[in-house]
Amino acid sequence: MNRANLIKLTRVLGMLGSEHAGERASAALAAHRLVATLGVTWWELLDRQETRGGGVEIRRVHEYGVDQHAAAEARMRQFKMTCNALTEENKALKRRIANMVEQARKAAMQGEEPE
């Protein structure tokens, strides 16, 4: 596997840790397709090749051209937007429950069945 394909596969596999099921599924499919286009199996790809010294060769993959600080800030903005959306949804649900409780209380005072 050449370096470009290794970097691409590493990035795709990194998306398997996503909180979103759709992103995880897409990443798994993209990884499968990449391995298939390379003409190897996962077993062949993951089989360790020993170096002359008998150990395993470890290479670090660097993402050139990726601004880690900007990526982290973008992820934080996304997290804050998600939190704000969930907070608003929580408030709406609390209002809805309060309205239902109020309707039930009024119906009980009037001797009627709640809706």
Q: Which of 33, 13, 34 has its CA nearest to residue 24?
A: 13
CA distance 12 to 7: 9
pLDDT in tens, 14-34: 989 888 889 999 999 999 999
Q: What are phi and psi of 2, to 5 degrees?
A: -80, 170
User: Is pLDDT above 70 for 59?
Assistant: no
Burial (CB count within 10 angstroms: exposed 0-12, middle 13-18, buried 19+), residue 38: middle
CA distance 56 to 22: 34
In the chain, DSSP assigns E strands to none
pTM over 0.95? The answer is no
Q: What is the largest CA-CA distance in the chain?
A: 88
pLDDT value of position 32: 92
Domain parsing of the chain, residue ranges: 1-50+59-66, 67-115
